[in-house]
A = this chain, B = another copy of it.
């Protein structure tokens, strides 16, 4: 097996595993490295998937196609990111999505059973790997739940307040920066960018918050409204 020149050590999947253990790990997992051209399929809708993919170089798009053939981009996963983990861990028969190379791509494919089934042998890192896998799924779970929390709100203002409130909480401060541009925030909250912008302005005028570019500050507590 050719030596992997860019070990994805920085991936959350391999956190806590020593670099010296890495080559043993790769062979124990029977991990394969595959290259794809732009727009080539990595996983195709309807296939059975028993592997997780780890992006080594480039990025992938996770796409969904509905009954009427309308497609939707579900996720864009960059270097170090993992895809297919939910479907392979849940052992779904047919993949309801497709994974496509968004640019020239190199991925590592690992059979999920190799991760989940401890290999009997002396692989001390196997326990770590399982923990990482659980951690990965759990963190994704929390992210998804948070997003749902925001976008289930009825209107643009409430979606914004829900999102900003949670950002404020994790920053442990009324003042915080967000990792999104306006367009990205609008996409994330599933609202119109222009409507969102004007809503932000309105709230600023009403003294609910202030902002400058990506920096926001929440100004009033519930009590103040009454």
Contacts and interface: CB of A to CB of B under 8 A. Distances in A.
B85 A138 contact: yes
A137 B66 contact: no
Contacts of A69: 221-222
A23 interface: no
Interface residues of A, number: 54
Copies in the complex: 2
Contact of A137 (B141, B161, B169, B218): B141
Interface of A: 64, 66-70, 72, 74, 85-92, 96, 116-118, 127, 130-131, 133-135, 137-142, 144-145, 147-149, 151-154, 161-162, 164-166, 168-169, 190, 218, 220-222, 225
Given A137-B141, A154-B190, 6 more contacts: A67-B168, A68-B220, A87-B138, A88-B138, A148-B151, A151-B190
Taking each of A72, A117, A141, which has the highest tally of chain B beta carbons within 10 Å of its own beta carbon? A141
B68 A141 contact: no
B137 A138 contact: yes
Contacts of A138: 85-90, 137
